[in-house]
Amino acid sequence: MNIHISKEAAAWYKEELNIKNGDFVRFFVRYGGCSTVQSGFSLGISTEEPVDIGAASNLDEITFYIEEKDLWYFDNHDLVITYHSDYEEPVFEYKKMG
C-alpha cells in the first residue's frame, strides 16, 4: 500500500494545518462518512507523531502516513491525494494495487 500525494495537495495541508518541515500528517479511519473502499467509514486527518507506520510518503519535508492498524481500510488500494482547484481542497482517490 502506497500513498501518492501531489505537491499542490501537500502545500494545502501545510498551509491549512499550519505545519512546518519535519511535521507529520496522519490519515486515519473514522466511523461514518462516505468512501468508495469501505462503506460506513471515511478518512480523518491529524498532525500527531506516528506510533506504528504502515505506509508513508515524504513530500516537502512533511511525512504523510497511515498507521499499520488502519491499513485494512484500503482493501489493497493505494491512496492518491490530489488538489482540486475548483473546490480548493484535496481529493482522495483509491487505486487498486498491482
pLDDT(98) > 80 = no
Per-residue pLDDT, 47: 97
Assign residue 76 a region (left: φ > 0; alpha: ψ between -120 and 50; beta: otherwise): left
The continuous run of DSSP H or E covering 27 comes out as: strand 24-31
pLDDT(17) > 80 = yes
Per-residue pLDDT, 40: 80
pTM: 0.91
pLDDT(36) > 80 = no
pLDDT(74) > 90 = yes
Mean pLDDT, residues 84-97: 92
For the chain, the straight-line distance linking the first and the last C-alpha, in angstroms and rounded, comes to 10
Please provide residue 12's backbone torsions phi and psi, each rounded to the nearest 5 degrees.
Answer: -60, -50
Tally of structural domains, the chain: 1
Categorize the per-residue pLDDT at 84 as very low, low, confident or very high, splitting at 50, 70 and 90.
very high
Per-residue pLDDT, 53: 97
Provide the domain limits for residue 59: 3-96
- Domain with residue 48: its CATH number is 2.60.300.12
* Cα distance between residue 27 and residue 81, in whole Å: 11
Per-residue pLDDT, 73: 93
